[in-house]
Amino acid sequence: MLRMTINNVNYVYFSDLTISLNYTGFVSQFSFNAPFYHHDEGIKNLFRPLTYPTVKIFYNNDLLLTGNIIKYTFTDEGKPGNAAFSGYSKCGILQDVSIPQSLYPLQSTNRTLREIINRLIQPFGIKASYIIAPESDSPYEETVAEPESSIGSYIHQLCEQRNLMLSHDSNGNLVISKPKHPGIFTNFTDNYRAVNSVLTVDGQSLYSDYTAIRQSSVENEVQPQFTKKFPIPFRSITKIQKDGEQGDIEGLSKAMVSNSGRAITLNLKIDRWTNYQNLVYRPGYVVGYQNREVGMDKLVNMFIESVSLAQENKTEVATLSLIPAWVIFDTQPQNPFI
């Protein structure tokens, strides 16, 4: 059963709810319709624009998302009607705002990742949890944010340099992690198919050799320092780690492979929000997938990167966006077609 609270008050008069949950990054979205009566002071206060009320959405008492209403659409058609509301997860604000001047200077010297992030998000009432190895939290010698860049893009840059995943939890707070395989959530096979499956493969974005080189190595004509391979015919790509960037060459090479692995995408449409154990499909889960109709003959582990949960004519519909599981986990890249 769906349940919603707005500013900790139970609210039941919503319809056409859609929730888009994302694992990669820190922004998930929601939208819904609700009646608006100008003579009802309680309703007016609940949906007063620019107050950014806190919305919590539950399914069978399982918290799916905590966010804030950002956009409002009111329509006058001569009679009371529905208004439309939408917003994003609590930490979505980080994509919009720059570093406040109260936190200047923009340069951080000998601060750890944890120290930098906690300092930047504190003014916005956001917390962060860190599921990382100690070496991933070693101090940055020096890192400088751009004054016009968003806090979110700067945090993403810091995490990417150390091959760490940036996401958020159902309470809307940041999660910085090195994800571990959670096990198989469910299997899609020829015996259990989605309502609709679309597999897309962009071979132009995939390479057999991913080579990372330090900038100083190029200037001194030293041989490349680390190459990560992917099992396809020879296609090579090189990236130079510029002076001042943090992280090791091996990590950069792995990040190159992972980023290009998103060229293999799978989209599934399912006629329910839950698997057969009545657990809601969520980003971060892994499913087994095999479907000869789309050219995937063997069972392959696929990672759910985002989920859209919607009510269509009072029917539950889930749309899953998946990528190969090795893109997320520190495992050997695999070609699912050989």
Global pTM value: 0.86
- State yes or no: pLDDT of 222 exceeds 70: no
Q: What is the CA radius of gyration of the chain?
A: 23
- State yes or no: pLDDT of 80 exceeds 80: no
Q: What distance in Å separates the CA atoms of residue 74 and residue 82, rounded to the nearest whole number? A: 8
- State yes or no: pLDDT of 137 exceeds 80: yes
Determine whether 325 is exposed, middle or buried from the number of CB atoms within 10 Å of its CB (0-12, 13-18, 19+): buried
Does residue 228 form part of some domain?
yes
Predicted pLDDT of residue 308: 96
Q: What distance in Å separates the CA atoms of residue 191 and residue 196, rounded to the nearest whole number? A: 14
- Asked whether residue 232 falls in the same domain as residue 251, the answer is yes
Determine the structural domain holding residue 217 and report its residue range.
203-259
Q: What distance in Å separates the CA atoms of residue 179 and residue 295, rounded to the nearest whole number? A: 28
Q: What distance in Å separates the CA atoms of residue 304 and residue 296, rounded to the nearest whole number? A: 17
Query: For tokens 């990054």, what's the residue?
Result: 25
Predicted pLDDT of residue 213: 87
Q: What distance in Å separates the CA atoms of residue 278 and residue 147, rounded to the nearest whole number? A: 47
- Asked whether residue 319 falls in the same domain as residue 271, the answer is yes
Give the lowest-confidence range in 76-85, 179-188, 270-279. 76-85
Does residue 6 form part of some domain?
yes
Domain count, the chain: 4
Interior CA angle at 118 toward 114 and 119, to 5°? 115
Pick the more confident residue, 246 or 49.
Answer: 49
Average pLDDT over residues 103-108: 92
Q: What distance in Å separates the CA atoms of residue 274 and residue 280, rounded to the nearest whole number? A: 4
Pick the more confident residue, 266 or 215.
Answer: 266
- Asked whether residue 86 falls in the same domain as residue 101, the answer is no
Residue after which a domain boundary falls, among 35, 69, 94: 94
CATH number, residue 89: 2.30.300.10
Does residue 299 form part of some domain?
yes
E-assigned strand segments in 245-295: 264-270, 286-291
- State yes or no: pLDDT of 215 exceeds 80: no
- State yes or no: pLDDT of 218 exceeds 60: no
The amino acid present at 329, given as its one-letter code, is: F
Residue after which a domain boundary falls, among 94, 121, 152: 94
CATH number, residue 169: 3.55.50.10
